[in-house]
Amino acid sequence: QEITLFRATEQERGDQHLPNCLGWSEISVKPVQQMMLPGNHSSMVQYPHVAKLVQALRQRLDATKSKIGVPMP
């Protein structure tokens, strides 16, 4: 298993000083996979960007189900 970090492509002021994985790699031994999504921290969960977030979440959930052997509908 790994950690999936959904990140916005548009950085907000001050974000350029944050670590690449936002600190997740420092608190977990699991690998961190970043998925870059359109928008900023707020707009990535609003129309029209939320459609890409939903698609990315579905892909990650389906991949995880497949890895652990959960039957797919």
1/72 Cα distance (integer angstroms): 18
Q: What is the pLDDT at residue 5? A: 92
* pLDDT > 90? residue 6: yes
Asked if residues 38 and 7 have their Cβ atoms less than 8 Å apart, the reply is: no
- Tens of pLDDT, residue by residue over 38-61, are 999 999 999 999 999 999 999 999
Q: What is the pLDDT at residue 70? A: 78
Q: What angle do CA 35, 23, 46 make, to 5 degrees?
A: 40
* pLDDT > 80? residue 36: yes
Token pair of 23, please? Answer: 């600190």
Could you tell me which of 36, 34, 13, 35 has the C-alpha nearest to residue 23?
Answer: 34
Residue linked to tokens 């797919």 = 72
